[in-house]
Structure 1
Amino acid sequence: MSTFTIGNPVFVTYMIAAALMVLKIMGQGWMTVYRMLKSDSGLASPEDLQPGLINRNPRPEQLELNDYVDRSRRMHRNDLENIPAFLAIGLVFVAISPPLIAAQILMYGFVIARLIHAVVYATGQPHEVRATFYTIGSVIVIVMAVWVLVAGIGLAI
């Protein structure tokens, strides 16, 4: 069985988890745009004040911080700081052929942790709640990285 084919259930697990996380990153960007349009505020750059089809009456106050928009922007930044590490180590993790159950627990665990993190962040829950789900996702990526490192060292010796 080839490692990076749909005949490998570990790779299929990665495919599903990676696709969900890419959709999360892309969807969060669109959520930020939606929030800017809905609130008519929270624009990011001075050039956003040029008149156009969407912003027919630009005003300087549209550049002021809007927590409704900025919360989504912070969520997007958090995704961009965390999900790429999962995507990278997840692919290498597949290459070392871990047990399927371990791959499923770790990869789907990361997806679930990130999705709960997003809900908690979007609804303004206390930092401790958000940090719990960030930590779960982070520890999962670290476990995968250490597993890959140990396997790599074992092969190099």
Structure 2
Amino acid sequence: MIDLREILDLEILLVFAKYTVLLTVKMMLMSLITAFYRMKKKAFANPEDAGSLGKGDAAKKFVRTDPDVERLRRCHLNDIENILPFILIGFFYSISGVSLATATLHYRIFFASRIFHTIAYLVPLPQPCRALAWFTGYLVTFSMVYKLLVHVLSIS
């Protein structure tokens, strides 16, 4: 097991931090892009959000769904559902004693799969492009889970 003092010196954590920051920024950008599209398409989820475009009944016509905004929202939701578990599992994976090369490969593949998933979602590319990108990222996360479970079960 790794001594807590050694964690600060682990190059794996620096690599993990880099990909975590990049993925988090990507996820945050999806929120900004969705907000931009809501304003551009004048398609708001709440009456108070449309309040700047009119009062009362005038604002209500802007409380609607738009296919482009909804597509962005679904892409962002998919990021949340996949990136957050990756970050949590990836942290423990980083301190589990895995080699730098193996960890870096996991992080890079997951990052690339999420970027490709977003492109496939927003362009949109024909299926199975998006499904394969999602599955690749999911497989990477489960690969890390498997390594953690094997490691935990072997020391129990």
After superposition, where does 1:1-157 map in structure 2 within 5 Å?
2-5=5-8, 7-41=9-43, 43-49=44-50, 51-52=51-52, 55-56=53-54, 58-156=58-156
The one-letter code matched in structure 1 to 2:148 is: V
| 1:47-85 CA-partner distances (Å, limit 9, x unpaired) | 323x23xx3565333222211111111111111111110
Which secondary structure state, in structure 2, belongs to the residue aligned with residue 64 of structure 1? Answer: coil
CA RMSD, aligned part only?
A: 1.6
The one-letter code matched in structure 1 to 2:27 is: I
Is this contact kept in 2: 1:113–1:136, CA < 8 A? yes
* Pairs aligned (count): 151
Is this contact kept in 1: 2:47–2:59, CA < 8 A? no
Ranges in structure 1 where 5+ consecutive residues have no aligned partner: none
The one-letter code matched in structure 1 to 2:105 is: I
CA distance in 2, matches of 1:16, 1:131: 26
Which deviates further from its counterpart, 125-134 or 138-147? 125-134
Aligned residues with identical type, % of pairs: 23
CA distance in 2, matches of 1:56, 1:21: 37
Ranges in structure 2 where 5+ consecutive residues have no aligned partner: none
Normalised by the size of structure 1, how large is the TM-score?
0.89
